[in-house]
Structure 1
Amino acid sequence: MYYTINLKTNKRIESVDITRKINEIISKSKLSSGICMVYSPHTTSGIIINESYDPSVLEDITTFLSDKVPHNIDYKHIEGNSDAHIKSSIVGTSKIIIFENGELLLGTWQGVFFMEFDGPRSRKVFVKLIKE
């Protein structure tokens, strides 16, 4: 069984902290420890783990990706979102995270983020829990 997080993004490039939603899923599952897989089934988005305390870190990440992979250059794919596909490939669409005592085992400042590269859109994130 898997769980679904439904998101509505508001910008073309945006980061959405989904840590709390994942921890809620773990809590409701009544599982104490295991592995949590977080997966985005979209080709123009990604999942990252990074600092959740200082929002400028995520701004730096999106700025870096936008500088290195610009939106409007002469891409072969002509739908206008080629850069989003490339950014998704760079950051990846899934993460595997240990959970213990009913919550994600993250560092003090870490959070799990859905990265939107072709918004605004309605999106899904799938969460699979595997008990220890």
Structure 2
Amino acid sequence: MSEARDTIRIDKWLWQARFFKSRSIAAEIVGAGRVRVDGVVVTKPAREVGAGHVLTFAQERQVRVVRILACGTRRGPAPEAQGLYDDLSPPVVAEPANPRYDGGGRPTGKDRRDMMAARDRTDPNPLE
């Protein structure tokens, strides 16, 4: 078995901490310059990181900010992976699932029936 190290490749750490499903995806994200280490953009997947470094990267629709606590030796289960970092990300504000559009646009069936009923009440014979 391998011993715990002081530093590890950034793509390998992101994969072990379960931020990305595969190491090649993690390497691709780092290579595209979408990861920052202590505020500096990193473009090399082989960049060594260790305990105390702060990583900033986008994951889905959220910006993740994590402080590395340990390098780890394997990609273990989720509870083990969560022990490798301290999440400093700002809290996620939940958007409403389906906000209703207020006004404008095509009327609904109920709106049309209400308009027809109102028209019928005001003018019983519109053609005369």
TM-score range normalised by the length of the shorter chain: under 0.3
Structure with bigger RCO (C-alpha 8 Å, 6+ apart): 1
With the length of structure 2 as denominator, give the TM-score of the two structures. 0.24
Structure number with bigger Rg: 2
TM-score scaled by length of structure 1? 0.24
Q: Which has the larger share of strand?
A: 1
